[in-house]
Each structure stands twice: as C-alpha cells, then as structure tokens.
Structure 1
C-alpha cells in the first residue's frame, strides 16, 4: 500500500504519520524489538513522517527512533520537539524557550538521533516567560545553520502563531485534535489556514479511547490514569461515544478507531494525523484509515455522535501550557 502525500507548508509528507512516544513512555513497558519493527513496517507501508520529542522517555525515544532509521534516513521526514525541562530534571514540569536553550536542545537531539539535521523541529510548548519571537528566532538560526529544515509549534494559540509566523514561516502546528478534543476548531484552525500552516493532530484516537479497546483497568504506570476523562463517572459517560461509533463503524465495515481516524483525516488536505502505536497490528489498522472515503452524510453522523465529553483532557496544571 502506498500512502498519498500532503503538505505541511512547503514540507511534503505522507498523509498519515507515526507518533512514536508510546514506544518509550506512558502506555506500559517498552518493547524495543517490536517498536523498531513497527517503525520499519510503517516505512515499508509508505509512512514518511515519524514524530518524537527529546522529553519522551527522557531521551530514550529519540535514541530508539534514531536506531530504527539509521539505514533508512533518506526515507524519513524526522520530526522532534524541545522545550520541556523534564529532560534536564524529571521533577521540573516547566518549559524553556530562550534562545540559548533552543540551540542546546537541538544539538542534544541531533546527537541522540544520530543525524545531521532534523526535518521538522517543534517548540513543544510556548514558554510563557519568553517572547515567542525569541524562540522562533533561535529556531530560524538553526534553519540557517542547516541543522533544521522546517519549524513548527505545538499546542500554540492563534496569537502565538501569528507572532511566530512574522519571524519565520511556520510549517506545522501539532495539537491534540480528535472527535473528543476539538479545541483548535475556530480561531486557531482559521489562523493556521490563513498563514498556510499545516495541522498535525496528535492523539487522533483520543489516546486510544476511541478504538473501544480500553478498559478502566489500566496499568499502574499508564499516565491516562491521571487524566480526568479516563476516571470514574467520566469514563462511563464518555464510553457512550464509543458505543455510538461502534454502531456507525459496523455499518461502514470498519473499526471504530478507523472511523475516528478517518474523520480527522477528512478535515482537510492540510491535516496529517500522527496516531501513535508501538505494535505492527494496530499500525496496519491505522494506515488503512488513511484511504477510507467518508461522505458528507457520514461525516455529519460521526460528528453528531461525539456529543459532550466529560472531563478535561489534561490536569489543571498541564492545561496552563496549552494554547499559549
């Protein structure tokens, strides 16, 4: 199967990417061999965009991805991110976007990844203590130095996007977007399209919830246990969304996860979701969703079943760094 391509600004990528975070953290124990096999299977299937970050597994994920692509670097559009200070001190949940740190973080990522350039470099969050112009200015210098090809922002608000784009072209905004997280719709999405910024939705499957495979009995080290939507009554209320998706998916002959992913994929030719998985089985299912064609009626029905979601997507503290 050959995936079609889309553009994030001027950067051409596969219409669906692969989020690699879960290979190193958050969703249970890591399995290096299966993770590397999954990355290679993704490349074999035509996925070109691989997404990681320095903070994922505190460097482990960049090293893993770097190892996996060592002999296939030319096939990969490699995206990584900087900004969370946990990479320096696991107890520090803050962010840094000052020029000195941007350059230090990039050099550290290049070393862990084992590459001489990063194709798409994101500021993981906008630092509230640093003008976004300073952060993006430093990223622009990395482009000039040949260490980075294109730059992006993650979870940035409309004003930050406009200010950033005035300094250097922004190729992509990576933010959470799915049937149960639609915060970017409206001003943020409109701003991206006015500025020619592509959209890279992470967690397009609602952190796995929309697949219908999750239960409340999550492993002790699964970070979804800390998220309001996955707890108690919220879980029960939100599962009604999954039940409705299952009914629609059955009519169309697909899985509920594929239906949810196809909905995101259908939101525009400038949208490149990066569903995360660390297993080849789920990878094949996700990739198949990239070519599902949904009618206007299908899309309307899918949107209508999403309904009101119970609970915030992050803790109150984590939400402070969203849409900065």
Structure 2
C-alpha cells in the first residue's frame, strides 16, 4: 500500500487508515481486526481517549505493544471524561491537553504518540493555549506531530494561521463535498494533510448502498432527502464501469491532492478486507472524476464559515 507524508512531518502513513472506534470491547476480536489491517498494508491506527472512555486505547496498547515500531499511532483529546460516571465535557485547556496526552501514553503503553489531535474545537476555545500545549508536548518528544479533527472551517482556518499543524481530520465523501469549497485548497496550499473520514457516507456509498440508504437515511443526509440519495447513488453506480462502489468512493476522495489518507471504521475482519482489497494504485480518469461531480451536489458549510 502506498505511503504518504503527513504534512511537513517525517511521518508516512498508509493511504488507508484503520479507524478503531468500532473495534468493540472484545480484545481477541479487536486483535484479529488490527492484525488483518496491518497484514493488508495499513500502518496507521486512529483512536481517541474518549472511545469507550479510555478502554479503546487500552486494548490497542495491549495489542500493539510488541510491534509498536510497525504502527503509526494517532489519538485525540479535548473531551474531559470520567471513566466512572461515563460523562464528559469539552476542555481544550493547556492543563487538560497536557494531562490527557500523558494518560493516553499510559493506556497505549508507549513512550510517544505519533500524531496527536484536538478532538473538535470552537472559536470560543483558548486556541493559543491549546497550541502551546501541543508545541510543548512535541518539544518534549511525547508527540511527533499534531493536528485537529474538525468540520468547522473557521476553526481549521485559525489553526492553519496560528499553528504548525501537520494534519486535519474532516468528513469528506462524494455525498459530502463541503471541504471542496475552500478547506481542501487551504490545506494543500499550506502543505497540511487532509485525513478524510466517512468516505463511504455511513455505507451509503458501499456495495450495500440500497440497504443502508433505506435504513439510515429516512431523514436524508446533509442536503439530500432519501429519494435524492437513492437516485444519486444509482447514477453513480451507472457510471462505475463495473468498479465496486467502495473502490469508486475511496478513489474519489483520494483524487484530491490535499488528501493523504482515508480513515474507515471496521468492526469485522470482512470489512477490513473489503476496503483493503480495493486497487488504489491507479486513480480515476479525469473524465470519470468530473462526471461524478456532475451527479452529486456541491454542498457547502452552512455554519462556522470563515
């Protein structure tokens, strides 16, 4: 699998990233999923301290402790949570970010985090303070690089201007083209990696799109109603020239030069295999790329605009 540089850092991640939120709490099953992903060429695992209130990190740490050198590890912080009461509140303060990083290191059984992300963000945050925490963690060698996970253009813009982030995780797919309006260009212009999540749009761009649109989109998705969704994806399928829907959806997202890696979740080995068997060695033709754009809406961010 192709490896791409993460921003301006010395980190190289696989074009596909395993999102670990859906691993579950069965350690043996989680180990099978992660082992399959690594065997398929994935080197990048994405988690967060909030997933299962720290348990997700603990499970991953136990699984990879003997092969830490084979893995690029991303985790996130900013949701100040209690494992006992199972509740949390937003806290991007320097004090909490520093504390959260050290607690994640313990749960992950590692001396360093490759990529550390703020798990959200608003314009009301003490952004300079958050950046200061990230820079100090980096200087101390506890993290190698940092970034943010956000779908708010104004927050992304603030971090691009004020910090040395190397990546931004954002939602991006054929059905959610909002980042194309300006965010992706801004990231590309500043040599910051886009880490795309949701490329299959809750399975509505997968092999099982009819079933998923029926089950999950009764109220629509973004600015599509359910009828429009089904018609749009049917039109996409008609353009596919026999290419599996998963492959088409992943290739569309990777076609943008700002996108470094695509994060997909998996709760079964089969889901890992289905996505990693996709041939990503070649992209879409320019003709197909443009036709896909013609069939989908050019969504824009309605809120949090710059």
Bucket of the pairwise TM-score, normalised by the shorter protein:
0.7 to 0.9
Q: How do 1:132-211 and structure 2 match up within 5 A?
A: 132-155=127-150, 157-165=152-160, 167-211=162-206
What's the counterpart of residue 8 of structure 1? 6
| Cα distance between partner residues in 2 of 1:194 and 1:279 | 37
Distance apart, 1:157 and its partner CA = 4.2
| Cα distance between partner residues in 1 of 2:119 and 2:212 | 29
Q: CA RMSD in A?
A: 2.9
What's the counterpart of residue 244 of structure 1? 235
What's the counterpart of residue 284 of structure 1? 273
Report if aligned partners of 1:153, 1:172 keep a CA contact under 8 Å in 2: yes
| Cα distance between partner residues in 2 of 1:323 and 1:79 | 27
The normalised TM-score by structure 2 is 0.86
Per-residue CA deviations over 1:281-320 (Å, capped at 9, x if unaligned) read: 22222122433431001111222223478xx99xxxxx98
Distance apart, 1:159 and its partner CA = 4.5
Distance apart, 1:161 and its partner CA = 3.7
Q: 2:252 aligns with which of 263, 270, 274?
A: 263
Distance apart, 1:247 and its partner CA = 2.4
Report if aligned partners of 1:54, 1:87 keep a CA contact under 8 Å in 2: no
What's the counterpart of residue 115 of structure 1? 110
Per-residue CA deviations over 1:262-285 (Å, capped at 9, x if unaligned) read: 111111264311111122222222
Matched residue of 1:80: which SS? Answer: strand
The gaps in structure 2 that reach 5 residues or longer are: none
Report if aligned partners of 1:133, 1:163 keep a CA contact under 8 Å in 2: no
What's the counterpart of residue 229 of structure 1? 220
The gaps in structure 1 that reach 5 residues or longer are: 25-29, 219-223, 314-318
Matched residue of 2:200: which SS? Answer: coil
Which of the pair is proportionally richer in strand? 2
| Cα distance between partner residues in 1 of 2:290 and 2:261 | 20
| Cα distance between partner residues in 2 of 1:189 and 1:230 | 21
Distance apart, 1:242 and its partner CA = 2.6
What's the counterpart of residue 22 of structure 1? 22
Distance apart, 1:31 and its partner CA = 4.7
- Pick closer, same or farther for the CA change 1:45–1:156 going to 2, 3 Å: same
Q: 1:306 aligns with which of 296, 299, 306?
A: 296
What's the counterpart of residue 67 of structure 1? 62
- Pick closer, same or farther for the CA change 1:234–1:16 going to 2, 3 Å: same
| Cα distance between partner residues in 1 of 2:74 and 2:151 | 17
After TM superposition, the runs of 4+ consecutive aligned structure 1 residues lying more than 6 A away are none
- Pick closer, same or farther for the CA change 1:230–1:127 going to 2, 3 Å: closer
Report if aligned partners of 1:8, 1:270 keep a CA contact under 8 Å in 2: no
| Cα distance between partner residues in 1 of 2:132 and 2:21 | 27
Report if aligned partners of 1:123, 1:152 keep a CA contact under 8 Å in 2: yes
Report if aligned partners of 2:122, 2:155 keep a CA contact under 8 Å in 1: no
| Cα distance between partner residues in 2 of 1:32 and 1:243 | 38
| Cα distance between partner residues in 1 of 2:17 and 2:30 | 15
Distance apart, 1:195 and its partner CA = 1.7
- Size of the aligned set, in residue pairs, is 299
| Cα distance between partner residues in 2 of 1:277 and 1:241 | 25
The normalised TM-score by structure 1 is 0.82
- Pick closer, same or farther for the CA change 1:235–1:31 going to 2, 3 Å: farther
Per-residue CA deviations over 1:132-166 (Å, capped at 9, x if unaligned) read: 11111111111111111000111154543454345
| Cα distance between partner residues in 2 of 1:293 and 1:46 | 18
